[in-house]
Structure 1
Amino acid sequence: MIQRIRINAYQVGLVFEYNKLVSVIQEGSYWIWGRKEVIVYEMKQSFVSTIDINILLQNQDLANRLEVVEVGDNEIVLLFQSGTFKEVLTTGRYAFWKGYLDYKFVKADVSKVHITEQINLGLLENIKLQLFTRKFQVLNHEKALLFVNGAFVKELTAGTYYFWKNAITVDVKNVDVRHQQMEISGQELLTKDKATLRINFFVRYQVINVFKALVENKDFDRQLYIIMQLALRAYVGGLTLDELLSKKETIAAAVLEEVSNKITEMGLQVTDSGIRDVILTGEMKEIMNQVLVAEKKAQANSIMRREETAAMRSMLNTAKLMEENEMLWKLKEMEYVEKIADRIGEITISGSGNIIGQLKEIFVK
């Protein structure tokens, strides 16, 4: 049996006889004799055969034409073709034709945690490589802690972090390190004199020790809320209502000083706090309004008494002056006459007696 085979440029032919590779032929025309089979391969593609490659590579001519890449367990190989990333090779043996395309191979050990190979970070976002990596992001206003198999490794600052995906557990715990505000609202409290009221309290805080906040304490924000709540209750319970209202501006500082050590132990720093509102219950509000009205009435009565006293004192001084000075008495008489004249059309007075007496007789009748 004779057959003619044509091998074009950038092709390679493998000649088999009884499934055994007997020769390798390249560009040209060939007459094939006997019960032989020729399989033609394109050099622009990787070499893939249905026959075990380990058997084929026993042919030295073929072995010289191929570049063989072996990928072991827990390894991957990044295949670059003419400088461009093409594929990820997993466990196995691969062969590529030499001389036609420029291949580059980057082997990586994926059994470890950190990516130490010289791989461009942008390439780690490639969908083909994402299957083998895990990604964690720490924002600009955050800090984070890295844990490997549950053990703390180090603190991470803002950035994007990649690790190999394998059986090793990797966890990154983020925390916001910006100033934050916590509201402690509607706290119903009982003062020392048994007055019931509600207080709205706020706390402005910041995480300054990430390890203490995340590792040594659980739910640090919830703990801060409870600590401030209990301290506020204890402090208010030691004051009467009047004392509370008079010390409203200093209560926050006193409460904060009381719990400052506990806050530091949680890795936090409180930069500001204060009472937003003091709300009296319905009954207490009515009582306070009554007290306020009574105080204002007392103030008004006091002012009226002072004015009356001043007026009486003025009248007494005037009487003394008139008693000592007859001219002032005459002027006073004229003042009365003037006032009466404004109201009465005509008045007739006879004789040279006491004018005031005569006027009195006129108006008393």
Structure 2
Amino acid sequence: MLKPITIQADQRGLLFHKGSYVKRLLPGTYRYFSWSQHTVAVLNITKPFSVESKDLQLFLQDEELLRELDVVRVQDHEIVVHYEDGQFAQVLKPGVYAYWNLLKKHTFVHTDIRQPELPAGIDRSIIAKLTPYVQCCEIASHELGFLFYDHSLQRELAPGKYYFWKGPVSVLTKTVDLRQQQMDLIGQEIMTEDKVTLRLNFVCQYKIVNPQRVLELKAYDEQIHIQLQLLLREYVGTLKLDELLKQKEDVASFILSRIQEKEDAFGVRFLGAGVKDVILPGEMKDILNTVLLAEKKAQANLLTRREETASTRSLLNTAKLMDENQTLFRLKELEFLEKICDKIGSISVTGGGDLLERLSSLISVNK
């Protein structure tokens, strides 16, 4: 009894006899006796070449079959990007793959992941589809990057976006900020020469000019911080409290000049420095406030005494002039009479005589 097998135009057949591969079958109808132990595997040529429970190497000996297949071998150190008709299809891991080349054109981009950076042949538009295999690094416009493979420095990275394979090589990028930066020393407790413990808030501006030198230093910002602390203690410890309060600007000038001597060692350029605040202990504040209050009171008393002395001297000069000049004395009397009249509602004078003489006589009587 014959068993018919039909192979469509988009199919190929693989003939087996007693489980062993014999040959490929083109589209058409084939008949085999049921007792002949022939079997046929029908494959869709739009799909990858794959036969269940059979190794691919078994079919690669057939030259006729090979002419209809694209075979790609992916080594352990490779990743292959597979395109079908120019469009991304998939990423191939190590192994051997075969694809029918009858209806579709297959292209493969081999990349050696021992060289981690993605090659130029891979279109950046498909990066999102490669996320499980790729890591990204971004360098901002104000930064300079450094690329390390297995902790070994390779090169500098300009601002931009970079992609690397996740492979056997460890990829690390470090960035250095090239903008002007500020370091604050908050609440530095320092003792002056006269044994007064106070707290200083100090600020320093700097900019990195040698990024590679900065990378060579472990926690370079902490080292700068400690150096500033030491310089502050060195300078403030030689001053008394009163001198420090008068020479705050000199503190900044001294610290800046001394720290600039170490610019090459730190790989930075120090631009400015200053004392923001001098914070005194509570008891010392009370003492200084008392002293300040006493000084202000003494100044006020001095001004008062000066004004009193000037007023007395003025009165004395006036009295002398009136003693020497009766007309001036008379005018002064009239001035006082005018002031009295301004404050009195009515005046009654009895008797004869001139009104002005009578008023004058009243004042003379009172005197």
CA distance in 2, matches of 1:16, 1:263: 80
SS state at 1:193 partner: coil
User: Counterpart in 2 of 1:282?
Assistant: 282
> Out of 95, 110, 115, which is 2:118 matched to?
115
Amino acid at match of 1:283: E
User: Counterpart in 1 of 2:355?
Assistant: none
Q: Indicate if the aligned counterparts of 2:186 and 2:200 stay in contact, CA closer than 8 A.
A: yes
User: Counterpart in 2 of 1:194?
Assistant: 195
User: Counterpart in 2 of 1:208?
Assistant: 209
TM-score using structure 1 length: 0.86
Shift of 1:274: 2.2
Q: Indicate if the aligned counterparts of 1:196 and 1:281 stay in contact, CA closer than 8 A.
A: yes
CA distance in 1, matches of 2:335, 2:59: 143
Residues 148-297 of structure 1: pairs in structure 2 closer than 5 A: 148-215=149-216, 217-297=217-297
In structure 1, stretches of 5+ residues that fail to align are 350-354
Q: Indicate if the aligned counterparts of 2:147 and 2:157 stay in contact, CA closer than 8 A.
A: yes
User: Counterpart in 2 of 1:97?
Assistant: 100
SS state at 2:22 partner: strand
Q: Indicate if the aligned counterparts of 1:71 and 1:92 stay in contact, CA closer than 8 A.
A: yes
Amino acid at match of 1:268: V
In structure 2, stretches of 5+ residues that fail to align are 352-357
Shift of 1:112: 2.3
**Distance verdict in 2 for CA 1:309–1:59, change over 3 Å:** same
User: Counterpart in 2 of 1:77?
Assistant: 80
Amino acid at match of 2:67: N
User: Counterpart in 2 of 1:19?
Assistant: 19
Shift of 1:363: 5.0
Shift of 1:104: 1.0
Amino acid at match of 1:15: L
Shift of 1:264: 4.4
User: Counterpart in 1 of 2:48?
Assistant: 46
**Distance verdict in 2 for CA 1:92–1:245, change over 3 Å:** same
**Distance verdict in 2 for CA 1:336–1:82, change over 3 Å:** closer
Amino acid at match of 2:79: I
Amino acid at match of 1:48: S
**Distance verdict in 2 for CA 1:340–1:89, change over 3 Å:** closer
**Distance verdict in 2 for CA 1:70–1:336, change over 3 Å:** closer
Q: Indicate if the aligned counterparts of 2:113 and 2:168 stay in contact, CA closer than 8 A.
A: no
Shift of 1:81: 0.9
Q: Indicate if the aligned counterparts of 1:224 and 1:263 stay in contact, CA closer than 8 A.
A: no
CA distance in 2, matches of 1:148, 1:4: 61
Q: Indicate if the aligned counterparts of 1:5 and 1:29 stay in contact, CA closer than 8 A.
A: yes
Q: Indicate if the aligned counterparts of 1:21 and 1:59 stay in contact, CA closer than 8 A.
A: no
Shift of 1:338: 6.3
Amino acid at match of 2:160: G
CA distance in 2, matches of 1:185, 1:227: 14
Q: Indicate if the aligned counterparts of 2:15 and 2:25 stay in contact, CA closer than 8 A.
A: yes
Q: Indicate if the aligned counterparts of 2:2 and 2:32 stay in contact, CA closer than 8 A.
A: yes
Q: Indicate if the aligned counterparts of 2:82 and 2:106 stay in contact, CA closer than 8 A.
A: yes
Shift of 1:263: 4.2
**Distance verdict in 2 for CA 1:323–1:82, change over 3 Å:** same
CA distance in 2, matches of 1:251, 1:202: 12
Q: Which has the larger displacement, 37-46 or 85-94?
A: 85-94
Shift of 1:141: 3.3
Amino acid at match of 1:243: E
Q: Which has the larger displacement, 252-261 or 189-198?
A: 189-198
Q: Indicate if the aligned counterparts of 1:12 and 1:24 stay in contact, CA closer than 8 A.
A: yes
**Distance verdict in 2 for CA 1:7–1:294, change over 3 Å:** same
Shift of 1:169: 2.5
Q: Indicate if the aligned counterparts of 2:196 and 2:241 stay in contact, CA closer than 8 A.
A: yes
Amino acid at match of 1:115: L
TM-score using structure 2 length: 0.85
CA distance in 2, matches of 1:95, 1:7: 20
Q: Deviations over 1:255-310 (max 9, x none)?
A: 21221122442223333432222222111111111121122122112212222222
**Distance verdict in 2 for CA 1:36–1:264, change over 3 Å:** same
Q: Indicate if the aligned counterparts of 1:46 and 1:97 stay in contact, CA closer than 8 A.
A: yes
CA distance in 1, matches of 2:58, 2:126: 35
Amino acid at match of 1:174: T
User: Counterpart in 1 of 2:58?
Assistant: 55
CA distance in 2, matches of 1:111, 1:268: 36
Shift of 1:185: 1.5
**Distance verdict in 2 for CA 1:362–1:282, change over 3 Å:** farther
SS state at 1:123 partner: helix
Q: Indicate if the aligned counterparts of 1:21 and 1:56 stay in contact, CA closer than 8 A.
A: yes
CA distance in 1, matches of 2:153, 2:324: 103
Amino acid at match of 2:194: D
Q: Which has the larger displacement, 320-329 or 36-45?
A: 320-329
CA distance in 1, matches of 2:37, 2:338: 156
Q: Deviations over 1:3-59 (max 9, x none)?
A: 111111111111111233323221111222432111111100111123333332222
